[in-house]
Amino acid sequence: MALLEIKNLHASLEEEDKEILKGIDLVIQPGEVHAIMGPNGSGKSTLSYVLAGRDGYEVTEGEVTFDGKDLLELEANERANEGVFLAFQYPVEIPGVPGMTFLREALNSKRKYHGEEELDAMQFLKLVREKAKALEMGDDMLKRAVNVGFSGGEKKRNEILQMAVLEPTLCVLDETDSGLDIDALKIVADGVNALRNENRGMLLITHYQRLLDYIQPDFVHVMAAGKIQRSGGKELALELEEKGYADFTGKAA
Amino acid sequence: MAATVETIEQVEQLGTEKYKYGFVTDIESEMAPKGLSEEVIRFISAKKEEPEWMLEWRLKAYEHFKTMEEPDWAKVEYTPIDLSDIYYYAAPKIKDRPNSLDEVDPELLRTYEKLGIPLKEQEVLAGVVAVDAVFDSVSVATTYRKKLAEYGVIFCSISEAIKEHPELVKKYLGSVVPYSDNYFATLNCAVFTDGSFVYIPKGVRCPMELSTYFRINAENTGQFERTLIIAEEGSYVSYLEGCTAPQRDENQLHAAVVELVAMKEAEIKYSTVQNWYPGDDTGAGGIYNFVTKRGACRGDSSKISWTQVETGSAVTWKYPSCILQGDNSVGEFYSVAITNNAQQADTGTKMIHIGKNTKSTIISKGISAGKADNTYRGLVKVLPGAEGARNYTQCDSLLIGDQCGAHTVPYIESRNPSARIEHEATTSKISEDQLFYCSQRGLSEEDAVSIIVNGFCKEVMKELPMEFAVEAQKLIGISLEGSVG
């Protein structure tokens, strides 16, 4: 069974009634890493929001099956608890809430959802410290309020840490490489690579090929004007790097 | 955005079934005749077997009260209070004040159990908290008195204090909030029924948190409690009060007076978790909470700290204040005020700097949802002699939905050029980005609002005694349930 199956997905912004996704088809099998590349405004981020269940978007046609369930029927928090994780392009600040507290709430929400016992403070601390070490994040970073005063790189590492702790089955990474210098990019990429396994699917959304040097995808898709225009292997990314998106935006217009 | 529309709809739908303290205890009460008159005051005083001087003081206040008018400067609107339609005294029928908990009416004990207040001494948080419980007009039980007495600490109802420690009561009652102070305080002086009395002798650090739980039960009753806390030189006490009331259709009046006196190097920490019934979504039936709280830092290097978490009441009118008389004395005010539905709160503080190098800190967090109005009103006053006075004020407002209001009204009067006064204010909304981020991490909308609001209030919440911080955190979540859709 496919992990994620998107069929003819159409979606628009509720308040503008403007169609952004115009028939997306995509299948991700367990263990596969897919990359979606495309120019700005092609609908890449919208796709990630629609998958995560953000308010304000309306699916007008099509279906999405995740792990055998109708994903579109679920609330955003239910999707998260079912195992869909979105690493944000711009992680959100929550003043006054320590990162640890936030992440523990999140993990315990998921455990409760699955009828498992909640972790106490000590058990949780042990788990997080272990995961944080690999991402070169110290206790001080975990104690600070969620994303408040974090540099771009710290915010992205924090997203990967949350991903590592929550252990989702589908990871959607929205422009995770944006705003990262080369060292930060390496740490983040190592963190993501460490999470690759045979049960977990990943969808990398990116504008540039650079990220794909560090996280090697199994498939690359080019998205423009709300549709997947072409699919291929990782060589497609290199081709795009060379030629740019002009071919696709031209075709779409 | 669409989500905002949903939020607003959700807020509109929000009922009041969430108020879990809304039950009524079926217990026989003894009441004074309805309405306010000299006879009623004499009745109350006689019921309490008060000495003559106490009755005289009450009558003096009543005479003055007759010349006063209800103030209307606060940003709150409510149906005028009909003082003739209130019972000023309602007491559960018990023969005498019980000597031990075994003699307390089991029905009363069950009420407090339902409220989560463990009156049974062995259950009282392993000896960390001593409790005085006030039910309608009388104090029903004070726990841990013997243990406290070993330290010389007096913790009893104000009625007992009037009888047993008249010299202390005479000396301090009305010394911080005089009988002529303001409309509601003066009314309280005339008809106050019970409340707590605390005396900490010189050099004693009170070995446990002291706590009072107030409960309005009887219909059409007002609760007029009076609390007096005296901390002698070098002593310390931490005191907490909590309040609840049954759900009723009629608004009920609560007009309390709290007076604190801190002598040289003494410290009083006074925390309130106020959860009076807020009324239904139109505000009908909620408690009118008109309270005068004031502390005097009489001695040098004394300190008074007010922490309040206000989630209940239909109307709140409350300004816990500090008079900083002693040199180097410190006043603090930490406040979280949450208003939802049709609730209105006009609350803040007054810091009066009189002594040299006096210091005050004000941190106010107002959260408004539904159609509620939330006003911070505060005064920082520096008198000519207050050389080197310092104040820092921070007022933050958080709005949920687009039909609520937040207002900040700071008054600053400085008559000493060496004073340093800082005021910061912010207004923000819970953003959809924050809500989406939380729900994408698996949190329900309600947990998300709760965690965001608790983060917003963090600087205040950390001032609460540990034992009550968890309860207050939950209360914040409950108060805002359904405020976001």
Q: Domain boundaries in chain A?
A: 4-249
Confidence of residue B2 (pLDDT cuts 50, 70, 90): very low
Domain-located, residue B485: no
Which among B433, B439, B451 has the least Cβ separation from residue A77?
A: B439
Q: Is B443 on the interface with A (CB under 8 A)?
A: yes
Q: Which residue of A has its CA nearest to B437?
A: A92
Asked if A95's CB is within 8 angstroms of B2's CB, the reply is: no
Average pLDDT over residues B380-402: 94
pLDDT tens digits, B113-162 = 655 555 544 444 334 456 666 655 555 556 677 788 889 999 888 888 99
Q: Is B220 on the interface with A (CB under 8 A)?
A: no
Q: Is B6 on the interface with A (CB under 8 A)?
A: yes
**CATH: 3.40.640.10, 3.40.50.300, 3.40.190.150, 3.40.50.2020. Which one for A4-249?**
3.40.50.300
Entry pTM: 0.81
Confidence of residue B12 (pLDDT cuts 50, 70, 90): very low
Residue B77: exposure state from Cβ atoms within 10 A (0-12, 13-18, ≥19): exposed
Domain that holds residue B430: 2-479
Domain-located, residue B326: yes
Chain A residues with CB-CB distance to B440 below 8 A: 52-54, 76-77, 80, 85-86, 88
Q: Which residue of A has its CA nearest to B461?
A: A96
Asked if B441's CB is within 8 angstroms of A166's CB, the reply is: yes
Determine the residue among B396, B436, B440 to mutate to test chain A binding: the one whose Cβ has the most chain A Cβ atoms within 10 Å.
B440
Count of A–B CB contacts within 8 Å? 88
Q: Measure the CA–CA gap between B483 and B286, rounded to whole angstroms.
A: 19
Q: Measure the CA–CA gap between B464 and B273, rounded to whole angstroms.
A: 9
Which among B6, B437, B447 has the least Cβ separation from residue A92?
A: B437
Asked if A14's CB is within 8 angstroms of B451's CB, the reply is: no
Which ipTM was obtained for this model?
0.95
Asked if A145's CB is within 8 angstroms of B455's CB, the reply is: yes
Asked if A113's CB is within 8 angstroms of B442's CB, the reply is: yes
Number of other CB atoms surrounding residue B203 within 10 Å: 13
Average pLDDT over residues B243-252: 60
Domain-located, residue B19: yes
Is the separation of the CB atoms in B314 and B280 below 8 Å? Answer: no
pLDDT tens digits, A82-114 = 999 999 999 999 999 999 999 999 999 999 999
Confidence of residue B411 (pLDDT cuts 50, 70, 90): very high
Q: Measure the CA–CA gap between B79 and B301, rounded to whole angstroms.
A: 44
Please tell me the predicted confidence (pLDDT) of residue B109. Answer: 64
Domain-located, residue B190: yes
Chain B residues with CB-CB distance to A121 below 8 A: none
> What is the number of domains present in chain B?
1
